[in-house]
Structure 1
Amino acid sequence: MTQISILGCGWLGLPLAKRFIGKGFLVNGSTTSENKLPILEDAGINPFLVTLESESISDSINDFLAQSKILIIDIPPKLRGNNVDSSNSERKIFVEKIKNLIPFIEKSTIKKVLFVSSTSVYGDENELITEETLPNPDTESGKQLLLSEALLQENQNFKTTIVRFGGLIGDDRHPVKFLAGKENLENPDAPVNLIHQKDCISIIQEIINQKSWNEVFNAVAPFHPTREKYYTQKAIDKNLALPKFSSEKTTIRKVISSEKTERLLNYQFRLENY
């Protein structure tokens, strides 16, 4: 029976772990909150309290990785703007966390790593974005994700696949809730680049099932109405105050292509969820 370790059993990692358990996998799952340990255990996950810092890591990391062949890293950078470290603005906190993790992966049984990244590594470009597009992140989060991707990809001790998700939505999570009733919203004609939690989980499952390693995948639903059209309709559907957009600034028309994901993994997005 294959064992997987999932670093970060949060909004995506927890239902992902449940999916793998349902498919007969053994799953080690981590959380940074002691209160969540019973939740993981109740779901059939072998729970671990793991805190990953730039200069230290929990002693439990070795047990968390032990006997697993696959590691899924699903921890968000949690960075905003250029505020990377109040004590040293040049430090790359998230990158250093990944650097700190890598030696523990190297001495473990892990042979495959799947790193959950973001399409923010591409920045805002007026073009069709594919995996061949040169990344050009314009946010601190995107910059650190790209550097972290490279650290994992360059390591010869394990194979790494990167999956770059677009804007995350789910049955309990939708950006229209934050946009409802707001005015002067930018980029009304920009296409949306979203992915539903259910597609995230299924794509990760297919990568592992099909042993598609040493790859980079964009994962965004092939559904790109304009922001104004999409969020206005969603507000109507959810009986929320309509968002109001402004056309004063130039709209960025970036479209993320998931053609490779659809073709190589033979994957079909569930557009009814959008």
Structure 2
Amino acid sequence: MVTVSIIGLGWLGLPLALTLKKKGFDVKGSTTNLEKSVDLTKKGIRVSILKFNPHPEGIGFQELFESEILFVNIPPRSRTMPETCHPEQVKFIKSMAVQAGVKKIIYISSTSVYPDLNRDLDENFPLTKENTGNTALFQAENILHQDPDYDLTIIRFGGLLGVDRIPGKYFSGKSNVTGDSPVNYIHRDDAVGISSWIIENNLWNQVFNGVAPIHPKRKLVYEKNALDLGFPPPSGYAPEGDSEWKQISSQKIQSAGYKFQIPDPLDFWYS
């Protein structure tokens, strides 16, 4: 039985853990919270307490690294922490993984690493320190790419939405909202689906964009959310053509056989 350790049993990590368990994988994971660990243990997941400040702190987390596959899912806290914090966290994860002999790592990055160039972009776009849209994630990806003793796959997810994350709600009643640029969203069901697909099909040493293949304009998504869920839409939009944007291709993961469950963000379900 293949063991998968998920660092970060949160909004994405927990449903992934439950999906992999159903598919016959042995799953371990971490949370930062003791109370939550009791609840997760009841769900049959072996849980360690682990947080990175940026060095690792917690209880029993060495056991997490005794695993064939390590799934690293800790978003950078860019609003509250300095830019250097996330790359430092990843350095610690990498050294513990190498020390424990982990063979395969999946790192969750974001499409925010791509710059806004007002055009379509895919995984072949040459990112540099100068052009990246997210320095912390770019550096973290590079740390993992340097002299790896393991197979590494990076998933760059678009905006992770669905369930209780409703894009229109964040802009409800607000003025001067950007409405004319295409969205790069993915529903949580597909984020779990892609992560599981990569593990099941041994798609290693690659970079994949995880983004719904249809890219409606922001305004359409916000207005539909407001209509469907009964809250006010934005009170006004910024002039058209003012915003910079990018449209991220997910053709590569589709060519690897993955079929999107919800390809159009206008069809995302919310609880």
| Equivalent in the alignment of 2:73 | 74
| Equivalent in the alignment of 1:191 | 182
Answering whether residue 132 of structure 2 is matched by residue 137 of structure 1, we say: yes
Letter in 1 for 2:9: C
Other structure's SS at 1:242 match: coil
| Equivalent in the alignment of 2:232 | 241
| Equivalent in the alignment of 1:36 | 36
For the aligned residue pairs, the C-alpha RMSD in angstroms reads 1.7
Judge conservation of contact 2:181–2:218 (CA < 8 Å) in 1.
Answer: yes
| Equivalent in the alignment of 2:115 | 123
Judge conservation of contact 2:107–2:154 (CA < 8 Å) in 1.
Answer: yes
Query: 1:64-111 CA distances to partner (integer Å, 9 max, x unpaired)?
Result: 222x1000000110112xx643xxxxx611101111121210121410
CA distance in structure 2 between the partners assigned to 1:113 and 1:56 by the alignment: 18
Answering whether residue 253 of structure 2 is matched by residue 261 of structure 1, we say: yes
CA distance in structure 1 between the partners assigned to 2:142 and 2:104 by the alignment: 15
Letter in 2 for 1:76: P
How many residue pairs get matched?
262
| Uncovered stretches (5+) of structure 2, i.e. residues with no partner | none
Offset, 1:131:
0.3
Judge conservation of contact 2:71–2:106 (CA < 8 Å) in 1.
Answer: yes
TM (norm. structure 1) is 0.90
Offset, 1:218:
0.5
Residue pairs, 1:178-257, within 5 angstroms: 178-186=170-178, 188-243=179-234, 244-247=236-239, 250-257=242-249
CA distance in structure 1 between the partners assigned to 2:258 and 2:28 by the alignment: 28
Query: 1:155-174 CA distances to partner (integer Å, 9 max, x unpaired)?
Result: 32111100000011021111
Query: 1:1-32 CA distances to partner (integer Å, 9 max, x unpaired)?
Result: 11110000000001110111111111111001
Judge conservation of contact 1:122–1:134 (CA < 8 Å) in 2.
Answer: no
Deviates more, 1:14-23 or 1:259-268: 259-268
Other structure's SS at 1:137 match: coil
Other structure's SS at 2:107 match: strand
CA distance in structure 1 between the partners assigned to 2:58 and 2:257 by the alignment: 35
Letter in 2 for 1:227: R
Residue pairs, 1:19-30, within 5 angstroms: 19-30=19-30
Structure 1 segments of 4+ aligned residues over 6 angstroms from their partners: none
TM (norm. structure 2) is 0.91
Q: Among all aligned residue pairs of Structure 1 and Structure 2, give the percentage whose two residues are the same amino acid.
A: 36
CA distance in structure 1 between the partners assigned to 2:233 and 2:53 by the alignment: 41
Offset, 1:56:
4.2
| Equivalent in the alignment of 2:5 | 5
CA distance in structure 2 between the partners assigned to 1:169 and 1:134 by the alignment: 27
Judge conservation of contact 2:5–2:65 (CA < 8 Å) in 1.
Answer: yes
Judge conservation of contact 1:122–1:137 (CA < 8 Å) in 2.
Answer: yes
CA distance in structure 2 between the partners assigned to 1:154 and 1:169 by the alignment: 31
Offset, 1:57:
3.9
Offset, 1:266:
3.7
| Equivalent in the alignment of 1:157 | 149
CA distance in structure 2 between the partners assigned to 1:260 and 1:41 by the alignment: 36
CA distance in structure 2 between the partners assigned to 1:15 and 1:263 by the alignment: 25
